Amino acid sequence: MQQLASDMAGSAAGVPWLPDGVIEDAEVSAQLAFAHRLLEAGSDPLAAENALTAGFALMLSRYARSRPTVQTILPDATRVEMMKSRLSEDLSTAISLTELAQEVGLSSFYAARLFSRTTGMPPHAWRNQLRLNRAQSLLRQNLSVTEIATMTGFADQSHFTRHFKRAFGVAPGRWRV
């Protein structure tokens, strides 16, 4: 939590103390519960770590006794392109937000915010969109849905189908017809 507070501020920060007792905040609770579900599922470490970081950052920004001032995000097209390149080079290999951020020399918190501000979506969502676009071209080649799910880095066929239906309104098999 101290590292996250430092990352939020852009400089060394002390240990962020939270108030004693229960914090009742539906938004913080929902964000942390979502992160917990993603971590339990274990299928997308990038999405899970992004959700966990966002949930803890929200909690610190609202409830830490000395709330960290969040540093301003400066444009950095070079680093964003490096992250995009890393995310797109092998869609079947899982990557964490920490790994992605380390490769471009940023903190996880800053890298996620920079990427989201520049592209309009968090890294995991951008990568899933790229996976789905590649899946469309593979569907045109008449490969099986199971093969395509594996080739594009989805955990399994149902995971792929769920994302595909959400993005395009139909199941992959129906889209192909």
Check whether 177 has a pLDDT greater than 70: no
The verdict on 140 and 67 lying in the same domain is: no
In a domain, 94, yes or no: yes
Is 157 domain-assigned?
yes
* pLDDT in the model for residue 42: 85
Q: Are residues 24 and 102 in the same domain?
A: yes
In terms of domains, do 172 and 100 share one?
no
Domain match, 116 and 131 both = no
What pLDDT is attached to residue 152?
93
Q: Which domain holds residue 152?
A: 126-176
* Residues 23, 95 share a domain: yes
49 assigned to some structural domain? yes
Tell me which long-range contacts 25-29 makes (C-beta under 8 A, separation of at least 24): 25/59, 25/62, 25/63, 27/58, 28/55, 28/58, 28/59, 28/62, 28/63
Is there a single domain that holds both residue 66 and residue 19?
yes
- Residues 96, 162, single domain; the answer is no
Tell whether 170 and 146 lie within a shared domain: yes
The residue-averaged pLDDT of 36-40 equals: 95
Residues 130 and 109 in one domain: no
Q: Structural domain tally of the chain?
A: 2
Nearest-CA neighbor of 54 among 76, 30, 74, 24?
Answer: 30
112 and 148 assigned to the same domain: no
| 177 or 175, higher pLDDT | 175
In a domain, 81, yes or no: no
pLDDT in tens, 54-97: 999 999 999 998 887 888 999 999 999 999 999 999 898 899 99
Whether residue 102 sits in one domain with residue 26: yes
Is position 54 within any domain?
yes
Neighbours of 93 (CB within 10 A): 7
Structure tokens at 1: 């939590």
Residue 170 falls inside a structural domain: yes
User: Residue 160 domain-assigned?
Assistant: yes
Residues 70, 134 within the same domain = no
Mean pLDDT of the chain: 93
